[in-house]
Amino acid sequence: MKKSFFIFSTILALGGSGLKVNAQISQGGMPLSIRNTGAINNIPVSRYTSPDWEAFLASEKTLTQEQKFTRPFIVALSAAADFGFPQSGQLEVTDNGYRIWRGVISVENAPAIGLAFDQYALPKGVQLFVTNENKKQIAGAFDAANNDPSGYFIIDAIQGSKVFVELNIAPGVTIDDIKLHIDKAVVFHRAIEHLQTYLIAGESTLDQIDAQLNGLSSVCMINAICATGDYVANPRKATVQTLSIGAGGQAGLCSGTLVNNAGNTAGGTCKPYITTASHCELTGETNNSSAKFAQLLVRFNFERPDCAGTGATNGLSMTGVNLIARSAFQSGWEQNIGNIKGDFMLYELKNAIPASYGAVLSGWKRQDADVQTTPGAGKKIYGFHHPVGDNKKMSSSASTISYAWPSQVPSATGARWGVQITEGYASPGSSGSGLFDGDGYLIGIASIAGQVGNIPANCNNAAAGGTAQGPPMNAVMYQKISNAWAYNENGIAGSNNLKPFLDPANAGIAKINSVNATTCTALTSGGGTDGAVTINRVDEQLDANVSVFPNPSKDGNIQLQFNLKEAIDMQVTVLDVAGRVVYKTQLKNARNGVKNLDLNHVANGLYVVKITTASGFAGKKPQITIELNIHHCHWA
């Protein structure tokens, strides 16, 4: 005797309020092909040649430690692609008039693939989804909210050697209005440990996987959440990771800091600026319309939720920045770090940061006299960063010293802050990150690093096993905010220092406190103790973001798949027609994944799967119900 489970897509959204911000890189939801059992299976495949990663690794070995730090940490190489709509896929029409277009990008032996678009313009009524081969990873929906005047766009790494690209096109949309073309398949070889969950058979949620691996930075790195003191939360929440495609299609990672400016006001202007190192873009590009800036990806909250590192890394991202200011940089300077004078760059995100990201615009000090070079009891000098693309880490030191550059001799009027790290380390990929004083104010930008003295041998090992992908470095030179403030040694006049942008009214502001990155409401100090920003609303389209399959199921196992805008806690309950609970489970911090519901023990009858999430509105619980018709079948 076997059970046959028939699943009816009677999904009712009974409540909920959504947060709609154009800057969100995706809107959540499920592709129609997953919900439409009659979707085409013979999908056209476009195959591209994988770049020579081994040759790149050989060239990287010729670099010194300092040279490895003073450049983006390369994690991927790009394969030239020619994949576009409609020629690279196949179109079908559903019974309700929706059209599903699908095509596949394949790069043999690719661990993961990102997609770089040189044409992206979707009219309203069109949604773009991309998935891995087993459909456990879903990115999207991307839609007209992601359109940029440049036409450029980028999608982050998708696990595996095949990426399924799908457009869901509403009735009435004119096909000719859709502009979609991918010119690069970005083949990732590093900083993708967080995708390993999609390789695991059976129940495999990105958000809830026991003993999920840390990345391949040194085992001696310390998770950012471990930093202590009431002044560290805001600097940590202001720290981001950047991914950019540089010369030759190399994709590299750096770190950066969201920063406040004196022109921001609560309820008024709230510009989301980011400071990073000028060497994070190696060609010295100053053309703001370049794809290098339009396709730059910014990752938020890419960190562990607990000090032990047992919780899952949940990152959120946005695409596209405007270049605001930078010190000059030329190709080749990274080979001789003494050529680098100023080493700072200021971006502005093209869109507002969603409130659900919980981000902070860091406060700063621009006068050396205000900096606590030796913090008082219970305080430290902190850095927050992403070594070798890993989840966010912290490093700390007891003091900082002012150094002249490039002579590297102590000088009260020098251009760099120097620290010798006593907790944690830095590595390639940490560059561009912030240095924060004992009150949590941003005072520097990571520029140069190396090793001083002996590093414990075991620190060359990675937390995930094997050798760390970048050397642990305990001596870091930071570009001073004070030096970048009125810098004028090189670069484009008017856009080669920070002052006009961080103090736009020229009010002589010496320091400024941190603010909420979405509303620009004030926090208590530079670091502050009031940094908590909670997610208090749930996607109003939750019904479209959850799918139950297979239909029918003959073994009693039902798969619940979800792809949400933001991470939330979900309670999953299965009830019979009398309202009795026959199955119940909770998913903590769920955003994207698959949950197996084992209903082998239930009797014949009609069942309801109820998903409950906390909305933040007192006494209200938005729900979805999905009816299951379960009955026994006798087999000969």
- In single-letter form, the type of residue at position 145 comes to A
Confidence of residue 280 (pLDDT cuts 50, 70, 90): very high
The yes-or-no verdict on residue 610 having pLDDT over 70 is no
User: In terms of domains, do 262 and 311 share one?
Assistant: yes
Residue 9 lies in a domain: no
Confidence of residue 20 (pLDDT cuts 50, 70, 90): very low
Residues in the chain: 636
What angle (nearest 5°) sits at the alpha carbon of residue 472, between those of residues 467 and 474? 165
How far, in Å, are 256, 297, 451 from residue 294 at the CA level?
A: 17, 9, 35
What pLDDT does residue 523 have?
A: 84
Higher-confidence residue of 29 and 599: namely 29
User: In terms of domains, do 337 and 437 share one?
Assistant: yes
The yes-or-no verdict on residue 140 having pLDDT over 50 is yes
Place of tokens 């997610």: 535
Within 10 angstroms of residue 215's Cβ, the number of other Cβ atoms is 25
Counting residues of the chain whose pLDDT is more than 90, the rounded percentage is 58
Separation between Cα atoms, residue 403 and residue 393, nearest integer Å:
25
CA neighbor of 196 nearest in space, from 159, 163, 226, 229: 159
Q: Peptide bond preceding 464: is omega within 30 degrees of 0, i.e. cis?
A: no
Collapsing DSSP to helix, strand or coil, 253 comes out as strand
CB 580 within 8 A of CB 600: no
Query: Residue range 221-242: average pLDDT?
Result: 91
Percentages helix, strand, coil for the chain (3-state, rounded to 5) are: 15, 40, 50
What pLDDT does residue 613 have?
A: 66
pLDDT tens, position by position, 541-556: 455 577 666 545 555 5
The yes-or-no verdict on residue 578 having pLDDT over 70 is no
User: In terms of domains, do 174 and 313 share one?
Assistant: no
Higher-confidence residue of 632 and 401: namely 401
Separation between Cα atoms, residue 210 and residue 213, nearest integer Å:
9
Confidence of residue 463 (pLDDT cuts 50, 70, 90): confident
Residue 457 lies in a domain: yes
CB 337 within 8 A of CB 406: yes
User: In terms of domains, do 359 and 480 share one?
Assistant: yes
The yes-or-no verdict on residue 537 having pLDDT over 50 is no
User: In terms of domains, do 176 and 243 share one?
Assistant: no
Last residue of a domain, one of 516, 551, 568: 516
What pLDDT does residue 44 have?
A: 96
Within 10 angstroms of residue 86's Cβ, the number of other Cβ atoms is 14
Q: Which of 210-214, 481-485, 511-515 has the lowest mean pLDDT?
A: 210-214
CB 264 within 8 A of CB 515: yes
Q: Which of 125-134, 312-321, 351-360, 374-383 has the lowest mean pLDDT?
A: 312-321
pLDDT tens, position by position, 171-201: 999 999 999 999 999 999 998 877 877 874 4
pLDDT tens, position by position, 72-99: 999 999 999 999 999 999 999 998 999 9
Q: Peptide bond preceding 550: is omega within 30 degrees of 0, i.e. cis?
A: yes
The yes-or-no verdict on residue 532 having pLDDT over 60 is no
Query: Residue range 568-585: average pLDDT?
Result: 66
pLDDT tens, position by position, 486-516: 999 998 888 999 999 999 999 999 999 999 9
- In single-letter form, the type of residue at position 74 comes to I
Confidence of residue 261 (pLDDT cuts 50, 70, 90): very high
The yes-or-no verdict on residue 6 having pLDDT over 70 is no
β-sheet bridge partners, residue 597: 558
Query: Residue range 615-622: average pLDDT?
Result: 30
User: In terms of domains, do 491 and 547 share one?
Assistant: no
Separation between Cα atoms, residue 635 and residue 106, nearest integer Å:
41
Query: Residue range 610-615: average pLDDT?
Result: 62
CA neighbor of 83 nearest in space, from 184, 186, 162: 184
What pLDDT does residue 573 have?
A: 72
Confidence of residue 572 (pLDDT cuts 50, 70, 90): confident
Query: Residue range 50-54: average pLDDT?
Result: 97
User: In terms of domains, do 241 and 334 share one?
Assistant: yes
Confidence of residue 50 (pLDDT cuts 50, 70, 90): very high
CB 31 within 8 A of CB 37: no
CATH number where 275 lies: 2.40.10.120
How far, in Å, are 265, 321, 589, 621 from residue 21 at the CA level?
A: 19, 16, 21, 23
User: In terms of domains, do 431 and 463 share one?
Assistant: yes
What pLDDT does residue 367 have?
A: 97
What angle (nearest 5°) sits at the alpha carbon of residue 325, between those of residues 322 and 331? 95
Looking at the structure of the chain, the number of domains it has is 3
Collapsing DSSP to helix, strand or coil, 223 comes out as strand
Residue 524 lies in a domain: no
User: How many helices and strands (H and E) does the chain possess?
Assistant: 7, 35
Collect all residues with Cβ–Cβ distance below 8 Å to 121 and sequence separation of at least 6. Answer: 147, 151, 178, 179, 180
The yes-or-no verdict on residue 276 having pLDDT over 70 is yes
What pLDDT does residue 39 have?
A: 58
Confidence of residue 36 (pLDDT cuts 50, 70, 90): confident
| Domain containing residue 90 | 22-65+75-199
Residue 160 lies in a domain: yes
Rg of the chain taking only CA atoms, in angstroms: 25
Collect all residues with Cβ–Cβ distance below 8 Å to 20 and sequence separation of at least 6. Answer: none
Residue 472 lies in a domain: yes
Higher-confidence residue of 596 and 82: namely 82
CB 585 within 8 A of CB 595: yes
Q: Which two tokens stand for residue 245?
A: 């495609």
User: In terms of domains, do 261 and 375 share one?
Assistant: yes
User: In terms of domains, do 578 and 496 share one?
Assistant: no
Q: Which of 174-183, 255-264, 308-317, 325-334 has the lowest mean pLDDT?
A: 308-317
CB 381 within 8 A of CB 394: no
Confidence of residue 481 (pLDDT cuts 50, 70, 90): very high
Last residue of a domain, one of 481, 516, 551: 516
Collapsing DSSP to helix, strand or coil, 280 comes out as helix
Mean pLDDT of the chain: 83
What pLDDT does residue 467 have?
A: 86
CATH number where 591 lies: 2.60.40.3080
Q: DSSP letter at 339?
A: G
User: In terms of domains, do 193 and 258 share one?
Assistant: no
CA dihedral 509, 511, 515, 517 (to 10 degrees): 80
Q: Which two tokens stand for residue 382?
A: 């902190």
Higher-confidence residue of 236 and 336: namely 236
Collapsing DSSP to helix, strand or coil, 596 comes out as strand
The yes-or-no verdict on residue 277 having pLDDT over 60 is yes
Last residue of a domain, one of 167, 199, 231: 199
Residue 285 lies in a domain: yes
Within 10 angstroms of residue 234's Cβ, the number of other Cβ atoms is 31
- Beta strand 45-48 with 99-107 is parallel
Within 10 angstroms of residue 244's Cβ, the number of other Cβ atoms is 23
Phi, psi of 524 (to 5 degrees): -75, -25
User: In terms of domains, do 300 and 385 share one?
Assistant: yes
Counting residues of the chain whose pLDDT is more than 70, the rounded percentage is 78
What pLDDT does residue 214 have?
A: 58
Higher-confidence residue of 580 and 456: namely 456
Residue 16 lies in a domain: no
* DSSP letter string, 61-109: TTS-HHHHHSS-EEEEEEEEEEEETTTTSEEEE-TTS-EEEEEEEEETT
Q: Which two tokens stand for residue 400?
A: 């900082």
Residue 369 lies in a domain: yes
Q: Which of 17-21, 245-249, 505-509 has the lowest mean pLDDT?
A: 17-21
How far, in Å, are 225, 431, 449, 472, 623 from residue 421 at the CA level?
A: 17, 15, 11, 11, 49
Query: Residue range 16-20: average pLDDT?
Result: 28
Confidence of residue 580 (pLDDT cuts 50, 70, 90): low
Query: Residue range 525-548: average pLDDT?
Result: 48
Collapsing DSSP to helix, strand or coil, 381 comes out as strand
Q: How many CA atoms lie within 13 A of 629 on its CB side?
A: 8
- In single-letter form, the type of residue at position 614 comes to A
- In single-letter form, the type of residue at position 523 comes to L
Query: Residue range 245-258: average pLDDT?
Result: 95
Longest Cα pair distance anywhere in the chain, in angstroms?
89
